[in-house]
C-alpha cells in the first residue's frame, strides 16, 4: 500500500484548494469528511471522485470494516496522519474524506410539490446546512438559493446537512426576483417572512406556495417583499421578536407537515 507523506504532493495540494469556493466552482468538486458522510455518499450513489484515508485510522480499525470494503471499490488514496490533518477541515478528524463531483443541477424548477422553499441571502453556513437538512426531512426535493447565499458546498454547510445535500436539487439563481416571477406564472403564490405583518403562519394556506426565508440580519430583501403575494410571521408569546433563520424555517416547514398528517 503506497502512502502519501508529503503535503506538496499534487493530489494533496488540489484537494486542499477545494476548501476555497473559487476552486470548487472551477473544478465542480467539493469535499465531504467523516465516516457517516462518506458512507451516506456511497449509499446515495454520489459521484465520488476519490476517497482519502489516514493510514493510522485504517490500521487501528476505527473505520468500520464494511465501509473499508465499500471504499475499496473507488479511487482510494492513503496518506500519513500529518498529511490528512493538513487537508482536514475539522478539529478531530475521523481519518476519512472524499472528493465529490457536484451533481448537474436541474435548473428547471419542478412544480410538482405543494411548497417551494426559497432562501434570500442566508449567509451563515451552519444555518444553510441546517435548512437543507430540514428541507430533506420534510421530503422536499429542491431548494432555491439567491446569489448572495452562502455556498452550499462550503465544508461547514456540507457537514451540517448530514447527507441531505446528496438528495436535494439545489438551484442557485442569479436573479431571485425574476425567478419568483416565473414561479408566480406557474400558479404559485409567493409568501415572504416579515415582522411587518399581522398574518400568522398558522392561518395562511400552504398549498402551491413559494416560501421565502430572508437573511439573518436584514430579513427578506425589499425587492422580494414588493412582489410577494402575502407576508407572514411566526407569532411570539415572549419578548423575543424573531427566531434564528434555520429555526424559523423548521417551524414553518413543520406546520406544513402537521397539516399533511392530521
Per-residue pLDDT at 106: 63
pLDDT digits (tens, 9 = 90+) for 46-75: 999 999 999 987 667 788 889 999 999 999
Q: Spell out the domain ranges in the chain.
A: 3-101, 115-261
pTM, rounded to two decimals? 0.92
For 144, which DSSP code? E
pLDDT bin (cut points 50, 70, 90) of residue 143 is: very high
Q: Which range among 9-18, 34-43, 103-112, 130-139 shows the weakest confidence by mean pLDDT?
A: 103-112
The superfamily CATH assigns to domain 3-101 is Ribosomal protein L30/S12 (3.30.1330.30)
Q: Are 216 and 244 in contact (CB under 8 A)?
A: yes
Cell triple for residue 200?
A: 400568522
pLDDT in tens, 74-102: 999 999 999 999 999 998 899 999 999 99
Query: Which of 131, 118, 119, 120 shows the shortest CA–CA distance to 157?
Result: 131
Nearest to 62 by CA among 87, 30, 84: 84
Report the top-level CATH class of 115-261.
alpha beta
Amino acid at each position: 500500500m503506497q502512502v502519501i507523506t508529503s503535503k506538496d504532493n499534487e493530489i494533496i495540494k488540489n484537494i486542499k484548494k477545494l476548501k476555497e469556493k473559487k476552486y470548487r466552482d472551477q473544478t465542480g468538486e467539493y469535499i465531504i469528511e467523516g465516516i457517516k458522510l462518506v458512507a451516506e455518499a456511497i449509499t446515495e450513489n454520489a459521484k465520488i471522485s476519490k476517497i482519502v484515508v489516514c493510514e493510522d485510522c485504517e490500521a487501528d480499525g476505527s473505520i468500520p470494516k464494511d465501509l473499508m470494503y465499500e471504499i475499496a471499490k473507488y479511487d482510494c488514496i492513503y496518506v500519513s496522519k500529518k498529511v490528512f490533518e493538513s487537508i482536514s477541515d475539522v478539529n478531530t478528524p475521523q481519518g476519512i474524506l472524499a472528493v465529490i463531483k457536484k451533481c448537474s443541477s436541474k435548473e428547471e424548477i419542478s412544480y410538482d410539490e405543494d411548497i417551494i422553499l426559497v432562501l434570500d441571502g442566508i449567509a451563515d453556513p451552519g444555518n444553510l446546512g441546517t435548512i437543507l437538512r430540514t428541507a430533506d426531512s420534510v421530503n422536499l426535493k429542491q431548494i432555491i438559493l439567491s446569489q448572495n447565499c452562502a455556498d452550499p458546498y462550503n465544508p461547514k454547510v456540507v457537514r451540517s446537512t448530514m447527507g441531505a445535500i446528496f438528495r436535494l436539487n439545489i438551484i442557485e439563481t442569479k436573479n431571485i426576483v425574476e425567478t419568483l416571477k416565473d414561479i408566480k406564472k406557474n400558479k404559485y403564490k409567493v409568501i415572504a417572512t416579515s415582522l411587518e405583518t399581522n398574518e400568522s403562519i398558522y392561518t395562511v394556506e400552504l398549498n402551491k406556495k413559494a416560501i421565502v426565508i430572508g437573511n439573518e440580519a436584514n430579513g427578506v430583501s425589499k425587492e422580494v417583499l414588493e412582489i410577494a403575494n402575502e407576508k407572514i410571521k411566526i407569532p411570539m408569546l415572549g419578548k423575543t421578536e424573531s427566531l434564528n433563520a434555520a429555526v424559523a424555517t423548521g417551524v414553518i416547514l413543520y406546520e406544513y407537515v402537521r397539516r399533511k398528517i392530521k
